[in-house]
A = this chain, B = another copy of it.
């Protein structure tokens, strides 16, 4: 099952997709290395500007002739609760003065502007003829879906429950990433309740497979050939791996972030809203612990994300992992320092060996 309908559709050798991690992780080198090794490299464009996205696409095109993709965050309307904003800002200032960084008034996001940027990003995907475009935090409008499909782009959605997966299929998405509770980084939940959307892949994949006809791509805690084979047994056609690629040599993640994962055990990886106002999974640290009790009083995503930007940046600059967002899935013990190519080769070898054992 290394070659199947999904790999043929995406024109890749192996059903391994590098998760489109935002925030500088998916360097052009990483994306190109993954695609060159037979997987699908993906640009995590969630926090890029349109110019940055276009530049990165050009860079990657110079590094590989293979298919690669772009992931976009679908902007969502959010409540601006002045009281929560002030409360959070004040608390974060306490931390800022404690760890000795200058307090800067953060520039807050603007939904109307987010929507305009999103449209510009879609236009770049169209103009650059990017063959694969995936979406997180929601389903893009019918107009965008139609335009991308007319341009022969394959569009992939993200779901955290069976119902969200069905919504993606009904909207005409070509495939859907089902994100299990094991997954690192932000939860892609867009319709389900927060707590109700933490479904383990052992449950999520087969239940989604029974309800869908489009290909399922499993994401969450998958790091090796065992995970790829298990995901396929459960009904997925391919896997999307984040943490495994995050610790790779070509990844742009901060060294402290990579080290934190390489040293962590599975029970040190927690769900938190502290960094952004939206549930995300990462290695536990002081920042998460300090904000734990006030999680329900934080401003919504992306407001809290904007508020904590200064702290995260300063913490990285001063090499203090206690105040950085150390996103990781629940399998940090399986993380290995490899190149992207070595990782993909390792997974394929493991998969072939497992097949022999099983048959």
Contacts and interface: CB of A to CB of B under 8 A. Distances in A.
A268 interface: yes
Interface residues of A, number: 55
A182 B196 contact: no
A29 interface: no
A204 B331 CA distance: 7
Contact of A162 (B161, B195, B266): B266
B202 A230 contact: yes
A218 to B, nearest CB: 8
A333 B206 CA distance: 9
Contact of A270 (B195, B201, B334): B195
A210 B358 contact: no
Contacts of A222: 202
A200 B265 contact: no
A220 B233 contact: no
A200 B180 contact: yes
A220 B198 CA distance: 14
A335 to B, nearest CB: 11
Contacts of A8: none
A contacts with B: majority SS: helix
Given A181-B198, A358-B359, A206 B267 contact: no
A203 interface: yes
Copies of this chain per assembly: 2
A267 B233 contact: no
B193 A267 contact: yes
A355 B233 CA distance: 9
A163 interface: yes
Contacts of A233: 226, 229-230, 233, 354, 358
A352 B265 CA distance: 35
Contact of A227 (B1, B195, B206, B231): B206
Contacts of A181: 181, 198, 200
B201 A200 contact: yes
A221 interface: yes
Interface string A7-40: 0000000000000000000000000000000000
13 contacts: A162-B267, A181-B198, A182-B199, A196-B270, A197-B267, A200-B200, A202-B330, A203-B220, A203-B330, A206-B334, A226-B233, A229-B230, A230-B230
Interface of A: 1, 161-163, 180-182, 192-193, 195-204, 206-207, 210-211, 218, 220-224, 226-227, 229-235, 265-268, 270-271, 284, 329-331, 333-334, 354-355, 357-359
